[in-house]
Structure formats: C-alpha cells, structure tokens
A and B are shown apart, each in its own frame.
Chain A
Amino acid sequence: MLYIPGNNPAMIQQGGIYGADSILLDLEDAVALNQKDAARTLVRNMILVTDFYDSEVCVRVNHLSTPFGLADLEEIVPLQPSAIRYPKTESPEEVIELLNIIEKIEDRHCLPHDKMTLHAMIETAMGVQNVFNIASKFSRIDAITIGGQDLTADMNIIYTPDGTGIDFARKRIVMAAKASHIDVIDTVFPDVNDEEGLRRETEYAKKIGFTGKAIINPRQIDVVHEVFTPTEEEIRKAYRIVKEFRSNSAAGIGVFAIDGKMIDAPIVARAEYLLRLANVTVE
C-alpha cells in the first residue's frame, strides 16, 4: 500500500504506474493544515478521471474530531473508492459515528452501504487496547493497520528501527485481525534509503502475521512484494500438500506424510491459504 500525499498532483497522477497493490491518497498527516481544502478538492478531481490501473484506491481522511474530517467524507464518500482509511481509531463508538455519517452521505447519493470498505488505523495506546472490539464488530472493516509513528508519539517513546517499542502493539493488532478474519497491514518503514532494513522489517511483519505493508516511496514496492509473494518452491510444495490431502481424504485418510513429514489439517489449511495468495487452483 503506497502512501501518496493528497496535495501533490504529480505523484497522484503517476500513482498507478508503479504496480503497488493499492495506493493511499492521504488527506491527513501528509497535508499541511492550511492546505487541507486544496488537497481534498485535488484528490476528488483526480479520483474521478485518473487511471490507477490495477491498484486499489484508498483515501485516508482526517479524524472527525478535526475541522476537516466531515468535509473530507462529504467529498470522498460519493466517489466510492475501494476503502476509506480512518486514522487514530480508538473505540467501536467512533466507528459507529463514522459509519452513521458515511451511510447518510451514501443514502443522499443513492449509493449502497456495502461497496466501499473501511480500514481502521490503530495508532494510539487506547486503540491498541480496544483493537479486537474495533476489528470484530463491523462488517465494513476489512482491514486494520498499525500507525507506528503516531503510536510511538502517543506512548512517549522514541521510534527505533528494531521496532521494540511497538512490538506488543503489532502482535496484539495482528491477533485481533486474525480473530476477526480480516487483513492486517504493517506500518511504514520511514528510511527509504535503507533497503536491507526495509526487508528485515517486512520479513518480521510477515512472520508475525501481517498480510501487507504500507510504504512511502515506490522504491519500496519491490522489496515488499518479494517478501510477501510466495516463492515458486513454496507454491509447488503447497500444491503437492493440497493435492495429496484430497486424494488421501477420498480414501478416508486424515493424516499422512510427505517426504517423511506429517501432514495434518493445520498444514493443509496453510497450504490452501498460500495457494489462494498465489491464485493457484489445484486440479
């Protein structure tokens, strides 16, 4: 997910050419306070006419407690991007308030309530404490994300490249997403010149359960894709596991072995997940 500042026309109009899975047009932290109105109008116009190719388009609006949040929703909701990303989500009550406003705007424009989804950003200590209730109660929330920079600020700690300070939050947010069967996207890696650091952090995020990672520069796309894309060897192995599972199941055998290693239901489930990611069908 590639962040693009909402007041930068050059970056927005080129946003779709880099091959990111999704692009996030940012009206919040990437826009100066005295340019919020300009960014909102620009993003609205650009979404209407710009071809973003295969990238999903999301918009991060300002929080409703700011003077900009409601105006952002009034302009952006009628365009029905793939998702609205809501910053600093701290409680289910906030989501209810947000959804009420969104649905009223959708009603005024004769739009359905189930097309555009929500991404809740968890970037305060209170949000981390309430994350399961945020993630699990709303069918329109199909992803939660961690905002590392704001979270460290809220915790009064210094961001460090090893992510020690936000490690508990990362894992708690992942667990809430897994329990709610939704996607979970890791925070940005801020040093665009440190490719190895980005790779290390992305590998760690994948290892603990994140399903994607936010990025701030197109140069970071390849590394994130390399880490999250299953390798050919992984796909072949998963294919073999699922295929043999099916033939063994037909013969009434639940547990079997491949190359001397026991294969049971959890391993099959992981293999099936990997094949879904790779868009591979077992015949």
Chain B
Amino acid sequence: MKPKIPAQSGTFESSDVIVLIEPLPNRSGRKIEISSTVMQQYGESFRHIVDGMLDQYEMTDIHLIAKDKGALEPTIKARLETAIKRSLGQQEGTLT
C-alpha cells in the first residue's frame, strides 16, 4: 500500500517518538530516516521494528522520519501504526 496523505503521530516528549510519513512517487520504495537519543544502543533494534511494521502493512513509496526520545517498543509500534493508518486515511489525526 502507498500512503495517501502526509501524516504524523507521537510527540517530542521523553519516552515517546514522533513519526512523520509522506507519500513518494511511484516505484520510489522506502526512504527511512531515524534519529534517537539512544541510537548507539538501540538504533538497529529500532530500524528492525520500523521495517517489520512497514512490511506488516506492505507499505511502499513512503518517506518515514522517526525522531525518538527513548520510547519503548510498544510505544514505537503504536506510533508507527497510528501514523501508517493516518497516512492511509483509515484514521483521523494531525495533518489530515
């Protein structure tokens, strides 16, 4: 699936992550940018979670930016799910 609209979820608060999604032109694939206060320790794990969620929703032609402030896995997954569903027009939220 392709994002239909730009969307975001999460906050810049501690223990949270803000996720921004925007659609890319056809056949662009995935462009992922992750920054985190714990990048050195958990960057790889974070990337794995992002890839897993995007695979689950079969997302393509997507630009995803995640700015993490030490979120735990259930929070990361919740924010990714919310941003993806908002970008698909399945849920309402900011930027929609």
A253 at the interface (CB under 8 A from B): no
What are the residues of chain A within 8 A of B75 when measuring CB–CB?
Answer: 9, 13, 42, 45-46
Question: A-B contact count, CB below 8 Å?
Answer: 53
Interface contact B10-A38, CB-CB below 8 Å? yes
Q: Interface majority SS on A: helix, strand, loop or mixed?
A: helix
Q: Which residues of the other chain, A, contact B74 by a CB distance below 8 angstroms?
A: 42, 45-46, 48-50
- Residues 71-95 of chain B, each 1 if its beta carbon lies under 8 Å from chain A, else 0: 1111101110110011000011110
- Asked if B51 CB lies within 8 Å of chain A CBs, one says no
Residues of A within 8 A of B16 (CB): 8-10
Q: A34-B93, A38-B82, A45-B74 are in contact. Are A10 and B9 (CB under 8 A)?
A: no
We find that the number of chain B residues with CB closer than 8 angstroms to chain A is 22
**Residues of chain B within 8 A of A50, CB atoms compared:** 74
Other-chain contact of B93, A10, A38, A46 (Cβ < 8 Å) = A38
Cβ-based interface call for B33 (8 A): no
- The 0/1 profile, CB within 8 Å of A marked 1, for residues 57-74 of chain B is 000000000000001111
Residue contact A38 to B78, C-beta cutoff 8 Å: yes
Given contacts A9-B72, A10-B15, A38-B93, contact A45 B77 (CB under 8 A): yes
Residue in B10, B13, B81, B91 whose CB lies within 8 Å of A10: B13
B72 x A13 contact (CB < 8 A): yes
Q: Nearest A residue to B96 by beta-carbon distance?
A: A34
> In chain A, what residue has the closest Cβ to B70?
A10
- Check if B78 sits within 8 Å of A42, measured CB to CB: yes
Interface string of A33-63 (1 = CB under 8 A from B): 0110110011011101110000000000000
The interface residues of chain A lying within 8 Å CB-to-CB of B85 are 37
Q: Which residue of chain B is the closest to A7 with respect to CB atoms?
A: B11
Query: Which B residues are CB-close (under 8 A) to A42?
Result: 74-75, 78-79, 82
Segment 53-86 of A: residues with Cβ below 8 Å from B? none
Q: Can you report 19 A-B residue pairs in the complex whose CB atoms are below 8 A from each other? A: A8-B16, A9-B16, A9-B72, A10-B14, A13-B15, A13-B75, A34-B92, A35-B94, A37-B82, A37-B91, A38-B82, A41-B78, A41-B82, A42-B78, A45-B77, A45-B78, A46-B78, A48-B74, A49-B73
Residues of B within 8 A of A (CB): 9-10, 13-16, 71-75, 77-79, 81-82, 85-86, 91-94
